[in-house]
């Protein structure tokens, strides 16, 4: 159809300055009609009614490219949210797993540490006990009990001087329960040390002497002896202090003494203070006294350091 079919012609206003007496032609599908005169009446041809075209341009529907772009953005948003959520969950799970694993690892580590310490203590006691003996000393005042440690294959036993002081007879009770008679070999009264000797016997165990200069405060130690006559008793503690100067009731002053909180009672004197390797690092000799109650103070005992013991042994055995 030609364009003219869609045009609507509207009469010019009678006041239009462009009108004149000249003829005006109107074009449409009907034969032209010519009319003259100032007043022109024109009746446009009748056409079937059609929708009027709006002057506002119609909205364009989004094209295929736009739809694809929107879909892509939506998918990217969904994927991004999912990825972030997954990352957060993974991080949380990893942290939880790490914490659980750490807790699981810590518990066995603590248990293992405790087990290791117990194993060391058991091994140290087993190593030193066969060399620790009980001394039953008869004096003019009666009988006194103490401890001693076998220190060589000759049957020499180191103990405190105050344990054997004034002795008439010395009886040694070995770790296996058998009894031996001993004789006094010598003393260093200034250090409260003495040596007695028994006849060597089969499978005799000799203590290994350690280096007391390497001790540190807080180090684990064990005391083995015969407190109150109860044989082969072991107690544990730590090195509470070093280089103490201690004066005994006899007036003897022990220099460089080891202070320990391992339980030490009458009968422990002359016994063994050992490290976790079972090495002899001191000879328990005295317990502090609470002057208010005149009783032994708990956890405050002193031992002669092993380096001083070695010096005294050299003096006695070289005589």
pLDDT in tens, 279-297: 999 999 999 988 888 888 8
Task: State the average pLDDT over residues 123-128.
Answer: 97
Among candidate residues 147, 192, 212, 301, the one labeled active-site is 192
- Look at residue 35 in the predicted model and tell me its pLDDT: 40
% the chain with pLDDT above 70: 69
Query: Mapping DSSP to helix (H, G, I), strand (E, B) and coil, where does residue 82 land?
Result: helix
Sign of the Cα pseudo-torsion (267, 270, 271, 273, in order): positive
Among candidate residues 162, 240, 301, 306, the one labeled active-site is 162
Q: Report how far residue 178's alpha carbon sits from residue 130's, in angstroms, rounded to the nearest whole number.
A: 12
- Look at residue 127 in the predicted model and tell me its pLDDT: 97
Q: Specify whether 203 is catalytic.
A: no
- Look at residue 95 in the predicted model and tell me its pLDDT: 56
Among candidate residues 131, 212, 269, 301, the one labeled active-site is 269
Q: Tokens 């010395």, residue?
A: 170
Q: Report how far residue 316's alpha carbon sits from residue 222's, in angstroms, rounded to the nearest whole number.
A: 27
The per-residue pLDDT for range 147-170, each reduced to its tens digit, is 999 999 999 999 999 999 999 999
What is the 3-state composition of the chain as percent helix, strand, coil, each rounded to the nearest 5? 30, 30, 40
Q: Quick count: other Cβ atoms within 10 Å of Cβ 235? A: 20
- Look at residue 70 in the predicted model and tell me its pLDDT: 72
Q: Specify whether 191 is catalytic.
A: no
CATH, domain range 129-317:
2.40.10.120
Q: Report how far residue 241's alpha carbon sits from residue 247's, in angstroms, rounded to the nearest whole number.
A: 16
Is 242 or 69 the better-scoring residue by pLDDT?
242
- Look at residue 319 in the predicted model and tell me its pLDDT: 63
- Look at residue 81 in the predicted model and tell me its pLDDT: 63
Does the pLDDT at position 11 exceed 70?
no
- Look at residue 5 in the predicted model and tell me its pLDDT: 43
Q: Which two tokens stand for residue 91?
A: 């991080």
The per-residue pLDDT for range 27-70, each reduced to its tens digit, is 344 444 444 444 444 455 555 555 454 454 555 555 666 667 77
Q: Specify whether 162 is catalytic.
A: yes
Task: State the average pLDDT over residues 129-158.
Answer: 96
Does the pLDDT at position 1 exceed 50?
no
Mean pLDDT of the chain: 80
Rg of the Cα trace of the chain? 57
Q: Tokens 């060597």, residue?
A: 200
Q: Tokens 């509470």, residue?
A: 240
Is 318 or 51 the better-scoring residue by pLDDT?
318
Q: Report how far residue 53's alpha carbon sits from residue 51's, in angstroms, rounded to the nearest whole number.
A: 6
């Amino acid at each position: 159809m030609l364009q003219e079919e869609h045009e609507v012609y509207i009469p010019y206003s009678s006041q239009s300055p462009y009108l004149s007496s000249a003829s005006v032609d109107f074009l449409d599908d009907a034969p032209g009609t010519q009319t003259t005169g100032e007043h022109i009446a024109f009746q446009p041809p009748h056409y079937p009614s059609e929708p009027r075209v709006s002057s506002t341009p119609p909205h364009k529907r989004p094209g295929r490219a736009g739809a694809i772009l929107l879909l892509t953005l939506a998918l990217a948003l969904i994927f991004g949210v999912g990825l972030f959520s997954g990352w957060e969950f993974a991080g949380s799970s990893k942290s939880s797993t790490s914490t659980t694993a750490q807790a699981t690892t810590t518990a066995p580590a603590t248990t293992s540490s405790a087990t290791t310490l117990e194993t060391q203590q058991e091994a140290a006691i087993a190593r030193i006990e066969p060399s620790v003996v009980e001394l039953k000393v008869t004096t003019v005042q009666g009988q006194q009990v103490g401890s001693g440690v076998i220190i060589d294959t000759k049957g020499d036993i180191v103990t405190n001087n105050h344990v054997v002081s004034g002795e008439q007879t010395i009886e040694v009770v070995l770790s296996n329960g058998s009894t031996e008679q001993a004789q006094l070999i010598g003393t260093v009264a200034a250090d409260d040390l003495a040596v007695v000797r028994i006849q060597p016997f089969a499978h005799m165990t000799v203590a290994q002497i350690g280096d007391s200069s390497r001790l540190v405060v807080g180090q684990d130690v064990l005391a083995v002896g015969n407190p109150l006559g109860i044989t082969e008793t072991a107690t544990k503690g730590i090195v509470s202090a070093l280089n103490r100067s201690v004066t005994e009731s006899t007036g003897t002053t022990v220099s460089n003494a080891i202070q320990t909180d391992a339980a030490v009672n009458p009968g422990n004197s002359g016994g063994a203070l050992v490290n976790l390797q079972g090495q002899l690092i001191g000879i328990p000799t005295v317990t502090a006294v609470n002057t208010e109650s005149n009783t032994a103070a708990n956890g405050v005992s002193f031992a002669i350091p092993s380096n001083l013991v070695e010096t005294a042994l050299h003096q006695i055995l070289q005589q």
